[in-house]
A and B are shown apart, each in its own frame.
Chain A
Amino acid sequence: DVKVTQSSRYLVKRTGEKVFLECVQDMDHENMFWYRQDPGLGLRLIYFSYDVKMKEKGDIPEGYSVSREKKERFSLILESASTNQTSMYLCASSFGGITTYTFGSGTRLTVV
């Protein structure tokens, strides 16, 4: 089975800190995605990547950036964390074409 691993399940950071959320997949998937999940809003796409060093903005990229230096790793960066970025963050990956996403277990980030 494909595994998508997010490095932290729970994270608490202070306002203004730079935050790194890491995601690693072990099945050579081309595509990787970062979503945030909030009650009543479902999943919203932040950034995605179809290949190494490629990145595309999703629906809500403001306040975030990403890095994909290696195919298996996709990092989400909060340059200066704010309280409105408190959320559940989900990473997903897939092969090219119309295929199923595989999700990580999520990182619940609290910014205080």
Chain B
Amino acid sequence: AQSVTQLDSQVPVFEEAPVELRCNYSSSVSVYLFWYVQYPNQGLQLLLKYLSGSTLVKGINGFEAEFNKSQTSFHLRKPSVHISDTAEYFCAVSEVGNQFYFGTGTSLTVIP
């Protein structure tokens, strides 16, 4: 089974500063990679996904992520964060078949 590691459980950042949320996974076989965002008291929404092709993936709300196969990483970035980006962010990995494996989440807090 896969394991997904989000190294930072909490990330505080000032408004308009850049942010990177880190995600590493265990398997070196073909994988599909996802980032989800969860706003307070809501379900998870898809931010972006990597299935194949370009390793740099752009998502909603100005977020992007880069797939690095050699480092088994899929870090999420945003060049300038807003207050509204305060949320929980989950990295997820899927192999052949349908089951997703989720990381434990990173709580992003944007400070005015």
Contact = CB atoms under 8 A, between A and B. Distances in A.
Interface in B94-108: 94, 96, 98-100, 102-105
B44 A90 contact: yes
Contacts of B9: 40
25 contacts: A4-B43, A31-B98, A35-B102, A41-B104, A42-B90, A42-B102, A42-B103, A42-B104, A43-B90, A48-B98, A50-B98, A90-B43, A90-B44, A92-B44, A98-B32, A98-B98, A100-B34, A100-B46, A101-B100, A102-B46, A103-B43, A103-B45, A105-B42, A106-B43, A108-B41
Given A42-B90, A42-B105, A97-B98, 7 more contacts: A98-B32, A98-B98, A101-B100, A104-B43, A106-B42, A106-B43, A108-B41
A101 B90 CA distance: 13
Contacts of A40: 9, 104
A6 B41 CA distance: 13
A9 to B, nearest CB: 8
Chain A: interface residue count, which band? 20 to 34
Interface in B33-83: 34, 36, 41-46, 49, 51
Contacts of A98: 32, 51, 94, 96, 98
Chain B: interface residue count, which band? 20 to 34
Interface in A35-58: 35, 40-43, 45, 48, 50
Interface in B4-46: 9, 32, 34, 36, 41-46
A6 B44 CA distance: 13
Nearest to B31: A98
Contacts of A99: 98
Contacts of B103: 42
A96 interface: yes
Given A100-B46, A103-B45, A104-B43, A43 B98 contact: no
